[in-house]
Amino acid sequence: MEYEPPSPDEVRALLKRYKLTGSAAGEIIGVTSRQVRRWTGGASRMPFAALYTMIGELEGWTITQTGWRAEIYPAPALTEVPRHEDADTG
């Protein structure tokens, strides 16, 4: 599986999730705010290294190149454990 960069909407959602301005995100990643605007505007796609750096700095953990969406947006936990009736063995 190849890396699929975040869409502009996903980049904006990440900035919102972490309450970051483009300038603040750029400082964390090591790019200019103009580059962050390119990612949020769709002029270019966010490289994995930038995504990895930003998430790693903010969350203190690592993500993988192919599984980052599931790692950032984990599946909701079950609220109730399914119950199985014991089979009647007669």
Indicate the domain borders of the chain.
8-72
What are phi and psi for residue 31, nearest 5 degrees?
Answer: -130, 170
Question: The domain 8-72: what is its CATH number?
Answer: 1.10.260.40
Task: Give residue 85's pLDDT.
Answer: 63
Residues in the chain predicted with pLDDT less than 70, given as ranges, are 62-63, 76-90
| DSSP class per residue in 31-57 | S-HHHHHHHHHTSSPPPHHHHHHHHHH
Task: Give residue 67's pLDDT.
Answer: 80
Please list the helix, strand and coil fractions of the chain in percent, rounded to the nearest 5, in that order.
50, 0, 50
What are phi and psi for residue 58, nearest 5 degrees?
Answer: -80, -35
pTM, rounded to two decimals: 0.68
Q: Which amino acid is at 68?
A: W
